[in-house]
C-alpha cells in the first residue's frame, strides 16, 4: 500500500492495537472481528469505516495485515480529526492525533479495561473478544464495550465489540435469541448500563443486522458493521456514559438478535458474560451447559455419543464445517464422544460462534479439559478448557470455578484409584475373601489331600473338647480371616516353596505381606498350597528343623489359632465320619494323644525339633516330602471323606495337639496371625499324616512355630520367612499324617466291608 | 497423475489380496519419463488408502520418513473420522487436519 510513516507514539499505539486485534497471535493478521470492533469503537460512521478498510487494502486482501491495520488506524485518526479520507492523507496529515477508540462499556468495562490494560498482550485482545461469546448476544456486546475501554491493551475489550458486531449480524437467527440471555450479567458483565445507550444501540444493531444480515462471515467482514459507538477505545478508562451506552447498545443488539434467532439454547448460553476471559465459561453458562448435557445424557460422568452431539449442535444452525471444527476442538481425547467438560467446551464454542466470535484454531485454555487421565480424558475435556482459558489476562481464577465441578468429577476417579491402592495395602480387607478361601480350603482339604491338615485340626478340636472348639470356632473366624491372609501367605509361599525349599520360609513370610497387598492372587492357590507346600514342607521341614528350633519358642503361641480354625472346620466335617473309624485307629490315636499335649509346650518344640530330627531319621517319608505328602494327602483326604475312625482319631489327636498349641497361642496372636497359624497348622497337619507321632510332633513344632510367624511378620521379615518355612514343614508333616490316616481309614473300611460280606454270607447258614 | 494414482490403487488392491494388512506400502519407482515423482501408498485396516506423490526433485526421502508421515496422516485421519459432523467421503475440511498435513509438507518438500 502506500508508504506509511508513523511517529513513535503512533507506532507504539498501533502495535498495541494490532496486538489487541491479533487474537490468534499470528503477529501478522489482525482478526477482522476485532478490527471491526476497534473501528466501531472509533466512533466513526459506518461508511467511514468501510472506506477506511477499503483504503487500507484490507478489503482487497480480505484480512488486516499489520500494514493494513496500521494504515487503517491512521485513517481512523484522520477521520476522527475530520480530515477526508484519502490514501495520501495517511502521510500528509501532520500532527494527527492518535485514533481514539472509545470503549462503550460501563464501569465494569472500565475495570475490565483496566485489567486488560494491565495485560496488554494479545491475550488481552483475546479476552476482549471472547467474553461476549458466553453471553452470546448480550454478553458479547456488553463485554465488547467493556473491553474496549482501554486503548492499548484495551484491544481485548475492543475486539469483543467488533467481533460481536460482526457475528451478531452474520448469524441473524441465532444471535438474536442469544442476545436476550446475555443480558444477564453472569460473569460480571457490565450489561447494566446498557439501558441508556439502548436506543442508540438498537438502531445500530438494526443497521448492523441489516448490513450484515447477508454476511455469513463472522469476523471476516472487511467493512466493519457500522457499530459506531459500540466499541470505543479510549486511552483513558472509558467514561461511564460511553460504557453505559455500549452495554445498552449491546443489549439492544443482543435483543435484536435474540428476537431474530430461533435458538433458545443459545440464549441461555449468552447469559454468562465473562469479560475477563473471552473463552471463559461463566457459572451461568456452565450451569446451562450442564443442564443441556443432562437432557442428552443424564449421567454427568457419562459420554454424549457423537451422533447425539451432532444432532444437538446442529440445532444451533451453524454450518457443518464450523460444527466440525468445534468438534475437533472440543473432543479433546478424540474418542468420538463428549464428556461433560468437552460438551461444555463445545457448547461454549458454539455460543461464541453464534455471537460472532471466531473459532480459535486450537482449544482455548479455559476450555481445555483439565483432568487428564484420572479416568477418561473425557472428564479432562471440559474442565481445563474452562479453567485454563483464564490464561488470558484477566481472570484465571474465576474461570476455575466452572471447572471445579469437572475437577470434582475427576476427583472421585482419583479417589477410586486411591481406594484401589488403599485396598491393596490393608491386609484386613482380605479377611472376607480369605474366610471364603479358608472355608474352601478346608472343604477341599476334607475332600482331598488337604484334609490332612483339617483332620488333625478336627482331631485336635475334638480332643480339646469344647474349649478347643470354642477356641477353634473363634479362631476359625479369625482363622478364616487369618487363613485368608495366611492362605494368601501360604499361597504365595507355596509357589515359592515349590521353587525353593530353602527360600520357602522366607518367601512365605515375605509373601504374606505381599499377599496382603495384591489381594487377588494369593487366596486361590491355597487349595494347591497344601499339597505343594506339603511336598515342600517335608523337605523344608527337614531342612528347617534346626531352624525351627530357633523359632520354635516363638511359634507355639501362634500355631494354635490356625489349627483350630482349620480344625474347627475339619471337625465339623470329620466328626461324623470319625465316629465310625474310631476303633481301628485307636491304636494310633494314643500315639497321637500323648504327642499332642506336647504341642502346647514350648519345650515340645525342641522335642519336636528333636523328634523331627528323629523323625527325619526314622521316617524317610518325611524326608521325602514329595512322596509322603502326596500319598498321605490323598489318603487322608479319602479317609476323611470316608470318615474312618482311624483317621478321625488321628486327626482328632493331631488336631487336639495343634488345637492345644493353637489354643495356647491364640490369645497371643492377633487376627492376622491366626491366618498364618492356620497355614502353619495346615503345614503341621500335613506332616502329621506321615506319622502320627511324627506328625504330632511336627504339629507341635509347627504350631509352636506358627505363633512366631505372626509375630515375625510384624517384626522381622526373616523371622516371618522362617516361620513360614516352619509352617510349611508342619504342613508337610501334617499332610503326611493325613495321608496315613486316610490310608488307615480305607483299610478299616475295607475290613468292615469284608466283615459285612462275611456276615451276609454266614447269615443264610445261620438260618439253616 | 491421475492415471498413476489409479495404477497405484490397482497395485494396492492386488497387494491386499495377499496381505490384507499392509500398512506400509511403499510404492517406489513409479517414475514417468517426464515427471519423475514417487508415489507412496498406504493402506489402513479399513481399506482406506493414502497416496502420497512426491517429486523426486529433492533427495529421496527415506523410507522411515515416509512411514512416519503416513502414520501421522493416518492418525490425523482417524481424528477427523471421529468427528460426527464429518460425512465419510466428503472432502476433509478440518483445519487441524490441514495444518497437520501442511506440517508434513516441509519434510517432503
The set of cell numbers assigned to A506 is: 522366607
pTM exceeds 0.90 for this model: no
> Cβ contacts (< 8 Å) between B82 and chain A: which residues?
306, 331, 334-336
Shortest Cα distance, chain B CAs vs residue A209, angstroms:
29
How far apart, in whole angstroms, are the C-alpha atoms of residue A526 and residue A516? 14
What percentage of residues in chain A have a pLDDT greater than 90? Answer: 5
Q: Note the pLDDT of residue A241.
A: 42
Where helices occur in A66-106 by DSSP H, the ranges are 66-81, 89-92
Please report which helix (H) or strand (E) contains residue B1, including its range. none
A716: Cβ contacts below 8 Å, ≥ 6 apart: none
Does A346 have pLDDT greater than 60? yes
Helix (DSSP H) and strand (DSSP E) numbers for chain B: 3, 2
Name which of B83, B86, B95 is nearest A361 (Cβ-Cβ): B95
How far apart, in whole angstroms, are the C-alpha atoms of residue A634 and residue A738? 8
Is A317 in CB contact (< 8 Å) with chain B?
no
> Cβ contacts (< 8 Å) between B86 and chain A: which residues?
324
* DSSP state for residue A30 in the 8-state scheme: E
Phi-psi region of A57 (alpha: psi -120 to 50; beta: other; left: phi over 0): left
CB A524 within 8 Å of CB A434: no
Name A64's bridge partners.
Answer: A30
CB A672 within 8 Å of CB A710: yes
Name which of B82, B85, B95 is nearest A320 (Cβ-Cβ): B85
Length of chain A: 768
Name B42's bridge partners.
Answer: B50
- The structural domains of chain B, ordered by start, are 2-108 (3.30.450.70)
Testing the interface with A: which of B76, B78, B80, B84 to mutate, by most A Cβ within 10 A? B84
Which residue of chain A is at minimal alpha-carbon distance from B93? A321
Opening angle at CA A163, ends A50 and A324, nearest 5: 120
First-to-final CA distance of chain A: 140
> Cβ contacts (< 8 Å) between B95 and chain A: which residues?
325, 328, 361
Phi-psi region of A95 (alpha: psi -120 to 50; beta: other; left: phi over 0): left
- CA dihedral defined by A100, A393, A240, A238, rounded to 10 degrees? -20
Q: Note the pLDDT of residue A693.
A: 52
Is A73 in CB contact (< 8 Å) with chain B?
no
Phi-psi region of B90 (alpha: psi -120 to 50; beta: other; left: phi over 0): beta
A281: Cβ contacts below 8 Å, ≥ 6 apart: A134, A272, A274, A289, A344, A345, A348, A366, A367, A385, A386, A389, A399, A402
Q: What is the pLDDT of residues A103-152, one digit of tens each?
A: 543 444 444 444 444 444 444 344 444 444 444 434 444 444 444 444 44
CB A450 within 8 Å of CB A682: yes
Parallel, antiparallel, or unpaired: how do β-strands A64-65 and B49-55 relate? Answer: unpaired
Q: Note the pLDDT of residue A703.
A: 54
**pLDDT band for position A334 (cuts 50, 70, 90):** confident
Whether the complex's predicted ipTM is more than 0.90 is answered with no
The predicted model gives A700-724 an average pLDDT of 67
- CA dihedral defined by A159, A161, A167, A168, rounded to 10 degrees? 180
Q: Note the pLDDT of residue A664.
A: 44
Strands (E), A259-347: 304-305, 337-338
* SS (HEC) of A556-572: HHHCCCCHHHHHHHHHH
A193: Cβ contacts below 8 Å, ≥ 6 apart: A105, A106, A107, A240, A243, A244, A245, A246, A247, A248
Write the CA distances from A245 to A188, A232, A633, integer angstroms: 17, 10, 95
Q: Note the pLDDT of residue A310.
A: 80
Strands (E), A215-351: 304-305, 337-338
Q: Do B82 and A310 touch (CB under 8 A)?
A: no
Shortest Cα distance, chain A CAs vs residue B14, angstroms:
33
CB A716 within 8 Å of CB A671: no
Q: What is the pLDDT of residues A571-614, one digit of tens each?
A: 444 444 444 444 444 444 444 444 444 445 555 445 555 555 45
Does A431 have pLDDT greater than 70? no
Q: What is the pLDDT of residues A486-507, one digit of tens each?
A: 444 444 444 444 444 444 444 4
As a whole number, the mean pLDDT across chain A is 56
Amino acid at each position: 500500500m502506500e508508504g506509511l510513516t508513523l511517529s513513535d507514539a503512533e507506532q507504539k499505539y498501533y502495535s498495541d492495537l494490532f496486538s489487541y486485534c491479533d487474537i490468534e497471535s499470528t503477529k501478522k493478521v489482525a482478526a477482522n472481528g476485532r478490527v471491526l470492533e476497534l473501528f466501531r469503537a472509533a466512533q466513526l460512521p459506518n461508511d467511514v469505516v468501510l472506506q477506511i478498510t477499503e483504503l487500507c487494502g484490507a478489503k482487497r486482501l480480505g484480512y488486516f495485515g499489520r500494514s493494513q491495520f496500521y494504515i487503517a488506524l491512521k485513517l481512523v485518526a484522520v477521520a476522527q480529526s475530520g480530515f477526508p479520507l484519502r490514501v495520501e492523507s495517511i502521510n500528509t496529515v501532520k500532527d494527527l492525533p492518535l485514533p481514539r477508540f472509545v470503549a462503550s462499556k460501563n464501569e465494569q468495562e472500565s475495570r475490565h479495561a483496566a485489567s486488560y490494560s494491565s495485560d496488554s498482550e494479545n491475550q488481552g485482545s483475546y479476552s476482549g473478544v471472547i467474553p461476549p461469546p458466553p453471553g452470546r448476544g448480550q454478553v458479547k456486546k456488553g463485554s465488547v464495550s467493556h473491553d474496549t475501554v482501554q486503548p492499548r491493551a484495551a484491544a481485548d475489550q475492543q475486539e469483543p465489540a467488533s467481533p460481536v458486531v460482526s457475528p451478531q449480524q452474520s448469524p441473524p437467527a441465532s444471535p438474536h435469541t442469544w442476545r436476550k440471555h446475555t443480558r444477564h450479567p453472569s460473569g460480571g458483565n457490565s450489561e447494566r448500563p446498557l439501558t441508556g445507550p439502548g436506543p442508540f444501540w438498537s438502531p445500530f444493531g438494526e443497521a448492523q443486522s441489516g448490513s450484515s444480515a447477508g454476511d455469513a462471515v463472522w469476523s471476516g467482514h472487511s467493512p466493519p458493521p457500522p457499530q459506531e459507538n459500540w466499541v470505543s477505545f479510549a486511552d483513558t478508562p472509558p467514561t461511564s456514559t460511553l460504557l453505559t451506552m455500549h452495554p445498552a447498545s449491546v443489549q439492544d443488539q443482543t435483543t435484536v438478535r435474540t428476537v431474530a434467532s430461533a435458538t433458545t439454547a443459545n440464549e441461555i448460553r449468552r447469559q454468562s458474560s465473562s469479560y475477563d476471559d473471552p473463552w471463559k465459561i461463566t457459572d451461568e453458562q456452565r450451569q446451562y451447559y450442564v443442564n443441556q448435557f443432562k437432557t442428552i445424557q443424564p449421567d454427568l460422568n457419562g459420554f454424549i455419543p457423537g451422533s447425539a452431539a451432532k444432532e444437538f449442535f446442529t440445532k444451533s444452525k451453524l454450518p457443518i464445517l464450523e460444527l466440525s471444527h468445534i468438534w475437533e476442538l472440543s473432543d479433546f481425547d478424540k474418542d468420538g464422544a463428549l464428556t461433560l467438560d468437552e460438551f461444555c467446551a463445545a457448547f461454549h464454542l458454539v455460543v461464541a460462534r453464534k455471537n460472532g466470535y471466531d473459532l480459535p484454531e486450537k482449544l482455548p485454555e479455559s476450555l481445555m479439559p483439565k483432568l487428564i487421565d484420572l479416568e477418561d480424558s473425557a472428564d479432562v475435556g471440559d474442565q481445563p478448557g474452562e479453567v485454563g482459558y483464564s490464561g488470558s489476562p484477566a481472570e484465571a481464577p474465576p474461570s476455575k470455578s466452572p471447572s471445579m465441578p469437572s475437577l470434582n468429577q475427576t476427583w472421585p476417579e482419583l479417589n477410586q484409584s486411591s481406594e484401589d491402592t488403599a485396598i491393596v495395602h490393608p491386609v484386613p480387607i482380605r479377611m472376607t475373601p480369605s474366610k471364603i478361601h479358608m472355608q474352601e480350603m478346608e472343604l477341599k482339604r476334607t475332600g482331598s489331600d488337604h484334609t490332612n491338615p483339617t483332620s488333625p485340626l478336627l482331631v485336635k478340636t475334638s480332643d480339646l473338647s469344647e474349649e478347643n472348639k470354642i477356641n477353634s470356632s473363634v479362631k476359625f473366624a479369625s482363622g478364616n480371616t487369618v487363613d485368608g491372609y495366611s492362605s494368601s501367605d501360604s499361597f504365595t509361599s507355596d509357589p515359592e516353596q515349590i521353587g525353593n525349599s530353602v527360600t520357602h520360609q522366607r518367601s512365605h513370610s515375605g509373601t504374606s505381606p505381599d499377599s496382603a497387598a495384591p489381594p487377588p492372587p494369593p487366596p486361590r492357590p491355597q487349595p494347591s498350597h497344601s499339597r505343594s507346600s506339603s511336598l515342600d514342607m517335608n523337605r523344608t521341614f527337614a531342612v528347617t528343623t534346626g531352624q525351627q528350633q530357633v523359632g520354635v519358642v516363638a511359634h507355639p503361641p501362634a500355631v494354635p489359632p490356625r489349627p483350630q480354625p482349620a480344625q474347627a472346620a475339619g471337625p465339623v466335617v470329620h466328626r461324623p465320619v470319625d465316629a465310625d473309624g474310631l476303633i481301628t485307629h485307636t491304636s494310633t490315636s494314643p500315639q497321637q494323644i500323648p504327642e499332642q499335649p506336647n504341642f502346647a509346650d514350648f519345650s515340645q518344640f525342641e522335642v519336636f525339633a528333636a523328634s523331627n530330627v528323629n523323625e527325619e531319621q526314622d521316617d524317610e517319608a518325611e524326608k521325602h516330602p514329595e512322596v509322603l505328602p502326596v500319598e498321605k494327602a490323598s489318603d487322608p483326604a479319602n479317609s476323611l471323606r470316608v470318615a474312618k475312625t482311624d483317621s478321625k482319631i488321628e486327626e482328632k489327636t493331631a488336631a487336639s495337639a495343634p488345637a492345644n498349641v493353637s489354643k495356647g497361642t491364640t490369645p497371643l496372636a492377633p487376627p492376622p496371625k491366626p491366618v498364618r497359624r492356620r497355614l502353619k497348622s495346615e503345614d503341621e497337619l500335613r506332616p502329621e499324616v506321615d506319622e502320627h507321632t511324627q506328625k504330632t510332633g511336627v504339629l507341635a513344632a509347627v504350631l509352636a512355630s506358627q505363633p512366631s510367624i505372626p509375630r515375625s511378620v510384624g517384626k522381622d521379615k526373616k523371622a516371618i520367612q522362617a516361620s513360614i518355612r516352619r509352617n510349611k514343614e508342619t504342613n508337610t508333616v501334617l499332610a503326611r499324617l493325613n495321608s496315613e490316616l486316610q490310608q488307615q481309614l480305607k483299610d478299616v473300611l475295607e475290613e468292615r466291608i469284608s466283615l459285612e460280606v462275611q456276615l451276609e454270607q454266614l447269615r443264610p447258614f445261620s438260618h439253616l | 497423475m491421475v492415471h498413476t494414482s489409479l495404477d497405484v490403487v490397482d497395485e494396492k488392491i492386488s497387494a491386499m489380496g495377499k496381505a490384507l494388512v499392509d500398512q506400509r506400502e511403499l510404492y517406489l519407482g513409479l517414475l514417468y519419463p517426464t515427471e519423475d515423482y514417487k508415489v507412496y501408498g498406504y493402506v489402513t485396516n479399513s481399506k482406506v488408502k493414502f497416496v502420497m506423490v512426491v517429486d523426486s526433485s529433492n533427495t529421496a526421502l527415506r523410507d522411515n520418513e515416509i512411514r512416519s508421515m503416513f502414520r501421522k496422516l493416518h492418525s490425523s485421519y482417524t481424528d477427523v473420522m471421529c468427528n460426527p459432523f464429518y460425512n465419510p467421503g466428503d472432502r476433509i475440511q478440518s483445519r487441524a487436519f490441514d495444518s497437520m498435513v501442511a506440517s508434513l509438507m516441509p519434510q517432503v518438500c
